Structure formats: C-alpha cells, structure tokens
Amino acid sequence: MSGVNVKSEIKPLKKVLLHRPGKELLNLTPNTLEELLFDDIPFLKVAQEEHDAFAQALRDNGVEVFYLEDLMAEVLEGNPELREKFLKQWIEEAGIRTERYQKIIFDYMQQNYPDAKDFVLKTMEGINLAELHTDKSNSLVDLVSESSKMVVKPMPNLYFTRDPFAMIGNGVSINRMYSETRNRETIYGEYIFAHHPLLKGTPQYYSRYSAFHIEGGDILNINEHVLAIGISQRTEPDAIDEIAHNIFNDPTSPIDTILAFNIPNSRAFMHLDTVFTQIDVDKFTIHPGIMGPLTVFEITPEGSGIKVREMNDTLESILEKYVGRPVELIPCGGGDRIAAEREQWNDGSNTLCIAPGKIVVYERNDVTNKVLRDKGLDLIIVPSAELSRGRGGPRCMSMPIERED
C-alpha cells in the first residue's frame, strides 16, 4: 500500500519513518555544537544500539519500519538520472559557491561512492578538507584552512525525523526549517515524495521553498478534523496561515479546524510536542510550565480564505472542547519540580503513542514513567543514555506514515 494516512496521534501505528544515527554524529565537535543545535556529543556506537532497540520495539509491536536513508537510496537506484541533479543541488545547498570546489566535491562523490546507499549516507555525514586531497598550492583558502575543516557540514539532527516533513491526514508538509543546519535535511523529502513508489503523489501542504519556518514537532493531528500547530521558536505564524490555506483548499482533506498554540519562545518549549503529547483517548503528557492560561487561535475556512478567532483558556479546557471528552493532563515528573525540570530536559513528555494507552518512552525518565504506569498506561521502555543528548524523545525520532483509521 502506498500513500500516507495519519489522522490521529494515538490510533494504531502501522508504518513509521526513522533514520538510524550515522557518522554525521562523529563530525560534531565542541566548537560546532551550538551551530549544529546539540548540547553534547553522543557516543555513536551506543546511540546506534539504542536506536536499533527503539526500531525493534516498534517492529515487535506490529509497526513496519522504513529508514530515510533507504528510501532515498531506492529513489536514486530507481531513477539513475536523478543522481547528478540531486548531487548538484546538495552541493549548492551546502553553501559551496566556488566553481572549483563544486567540481572537486562533485567528482569526489561520484568517484568514491558509486553505491546509492553509501552515497546517501555520505551526503548526511559531511566532508572534511582532508578527504579531498586538493593541491593546496592552487588556493589561498586551502593553505590557511585546517585540514580537519568541514567543507560540507554534517546533518547530525537527522535522526529526529519528525521535523523535516510531517504527515497531515493523507498529505504532507515538507518544511522550511528554522536553522540553516536543519533546512538542508528536507532535500531528502523533496525527492522521496516526488519519486518513491511508497510516497509519490502525496498531496503537499507546504513547500521547503516557502518563505516562512515551520517544523514537524509543532504539528499534532488531534483527530480527523482538528490539527494543532505551535507558534514557537521554530514555527512562524505566517507559515501557519499558509499551510491553513493549502489544507482548507484541498477538497480531499477533512480538516476543518487548525488550532495555533502560542507557546513560549525558548529552548525548553522548542516545539509543541515538547509541551504536550497525546497518549490515550483522554490523556496527555504535559510540560508543567504550560499549566497556566494559554492563547490559542482557532483557524477555520471562510470562503476561499480563513477566519481566525482568539481564545484565552487553560490547556485542559481547550483540549476537552476539541477532543470531545474530559481529558487528564499528566505532568512530566509527576509534579515534583526538580524531577520535572530534569526529566523534561530529557524529553519526559515527548512520547510516541503506538496505540491508545500504549506509548514508547525513554528509560531514563523513571519518575515520569512510574506516574504513567500508575495511571494504567502500557509503557514500552527504550534505552536513551546517548539518544537523549540530542534533546529529542521517541516522538521526535519518528515520523508516522500510516495509522489505522
């Protein structure tokens, strides 16, 4: 079966897209952490073991796992004429402006990575100057640059597949991301959604070439008719206006309401899914800092445009109205301030629901996990000592492709 179907955060998960952390993590250094949006350097070997355990836990629960690197490699294998076009675009988006280096990198990639999967992984890993074996006497830049300089920077955030593209009903948003570092990641989505047999033909509600930022962590499918989007550090209101127009103008989309949550602009509230995630028909995990009054904008279609109405209420009241039943909000850390701060830092409220009441959580958040277990939830606990260093939880690391209706 091809196409996508994601009209909920909790209905049984059937297909999911992941990226196994690769050598891109080896190209993180203390000096580049801030630029590459990391707070620490994960140990790759252990991060891969943890990620493999995460993928296996999904398979053990009936979820078919697809890998971003495999889908992109299959696109290039099935459409060999695209390889040169993709490579030239990748070089340009990496910021390589001089004709000399464009040719050097193009030739290097073509000659050294004939295998499509190796080629794709290398585009994710990045290239340092020492790999290129250039004649330094021909370039002042080469002579004054350290041999370890990254000519093409890595994409270490790729294992958070939630953000570059987000499934919305039967369509997709291919996002323009907040940072230049992450915006390059969406190039794979451009090719996969245009050419891969599993995903081509999917309606596209947002383009990576749009002017405004939006990221998948800010997009939550409340139900078939209601979509929630965070106005956050990473998602601009202009982007929400644009995506609302595109969704409402698609006659096949049943979505008739978009809720724009105005959340604090900070690292702690990076995306809407760090503020709350749905884990059962009537339960949500939440960041304790979001318990006060909220400003939420209800966006509905009006003619060929949109109508926006401001609401000021508690998260609980707003969710109850649009979920259609009383809801229970379960704070990260169970209300203990220190535990909440510590476990929120390690994504204690960023859970992946694979069926109502059945959720994937990080092992290290033991206080929050006990609270969830005491509430009757079925926990699938995965190791997380290294994965959590990227500041993203199980929801961040997964992009559902299909859920049961």
- List of long-range contacts for 47-51, beta carbons under 8 Å, 24+ apart: 47/21, 47/159, 47/386, 47/387, 47/389, 48/20, 48/21, 49/383, 50/382, 50/383, 50/384, 50/385, 50/386, 50/387, 51/18, 51/20, 51/21, 51/159, 51/387, 51/397
Neighbouring CB atoms inside 10 A of 187's CB total 20
Task: Determine the angle formed by the axes of helices 68-78 and 82-93, rounding to 10 degrees.
Answer: 130
pLDDT value at position 348?
64
Phi then psi dihedrals of residue 284, to 5 deg? -135, 140
The reported pTM is 0.92
Over residues 125-150, the pLDDT tens digits come to 999 888 887 655 565 455 445 555 77
pLDDT digits (tens, 9 = 90+) for 73-108: 999 999 999 999 999 999 999 999 889 899 999 999
- Residues near 275 by Cβ (< 8 Å), separated by ≥ 6? 230, 261, 263, 269, 286, 287, 290, 349
Nearest-CA neighbor of 192 among 66, 54, 25, 9? 66
> Strand pairing partners for 310?
297
- Please provide the size of the chain in residues: 405
Active site residue 332: no
Instruction: Taking residues 8-21, report their average pLDDT.
Output: 97
Residue 345 has pLDDT above 70, yes or no: no
Of the listed 396, 397, 399, 401, which one is catalytic?
Answer: 396
Output 265 or 184, whichever has higher pLDDT. Answer: 184
Domains and CATH numbers, the chain: 13-69+156-403 (3.75.10.10), 70-152 (1.10.3930.10)
How many separate helices (H) and strands (E) can be counted in the chain? 13, 19
Burial class of residue 201 (count of CB atoms within 10 Å of its CB; 0-12, 13-18, 19+): exposed
* Tokens found for residue 302: 């009006």
Q: What is the pLDDT of residues 233-250, one digit of tens each?
A: 889 999 999 999 999 999
Instruction: Give the number of other CB atoms < 10 A from CB of residue 334.
Output: 19
Burial class (CB in 10 A: 0-12, 13-18, 19+), 194: middle
**Cα dihedral sign for 250, 253, 259, 265?**
negative
Q: What pLDDT does residue 142 have?
A: 55
